[in-house]
Amino acid sequence: MTSKNPARSAEDIDSTALSYAEIKSLTTGDKRIKEKMDLDVQVNKLKLLKANHTSQLYYLQDKIAIQYPKMIKNNEQTIERLEQATAIVQQYPKQENDFSMTLQQRNFTEKKEAGEKILSFCKTITSTEQSLLIGSYRGFEMKLSFQGKYFEITLEQANNYRIELGEDALGNITRINNAIDNIPRLLEKQKEKLQQIYSEVEKTKIEIEKPFLQEEELKQKSKRLAELNVELDMEQPRNSTSQSQQNAENKTEQKQEMQATEEVKKPSILTALHNFKPKENTTEIKKQREVVL
């Protein structure tokens, strides 16, 4: 359900049904029965391991064919935008004694005054669906929005870099400067991430080429299990036939005995008719005699 492939397995409840030949061999101490039952467990476990191996291969193939290309494309696009943003940072370095921020087409040269103006913009936004383009600073366009618990400024040219704001006017200006100065470091981290993805692709390709290490063991044990099944099945028809014949003879004898018993207990229908004497209705005869008299 989570689309993951955990390599976990559980022993199934032993529900093996033994045939007549297997029971007979087991009671006579036939070692093939124990070997067969052990092989059943081992072969099933190896098949489960192979199924997990195959499932993992399909998962890795999907990553190489679908997931990794998307990840590489997204990272390359992010790197491209961060490179453009880094160029802007280099073009507009931070000036400690020469502050300039444009807010709503008005230029502010004092950090505290600019910070208070930004806080005043926050009061005009009352829902998370609202956003406001408030101005520009050091070459970046700044968009203000509300995230439910806090306000944030987004630098759209820097891959939508988000800066969380606080309640202090000067502190917010410091946060904006620190975020802009951090863009070159974000670019380096993104490049490292892209190289890591390329490395994972190569490792995944190597993993896909690895065969199932217990394939030969599975083949040998499956072959031996098939041989044992054939040997035990060859004994089953003869035993089953002799047993069926014996059962049929027993049923025939029982049927004959039942028929003989019924013949002794029950007389024939013809004899019953000869011995039958209808009873006279004495009351009706008396009435007829009285009428005659």
Q: What is the pLDDT of residue 101?
A: 93
Cα-to-chain-centroid distance, residue 48: 16
Please give the average pLDDT of every successive group of 10 residues along the chain, which has 293 residues. 58 56 63 85 92 92 93 94 92 85 92 93 90 92 92 86 92 93 94 95 92 91 90 62 58 62 53 55 52 47
Identify the residue whose tokens are 């049929």: 248
Q: What is the pLDDT of residue 231?
A: 84
Q: What is the pLDDT of residue 97?
A: 80
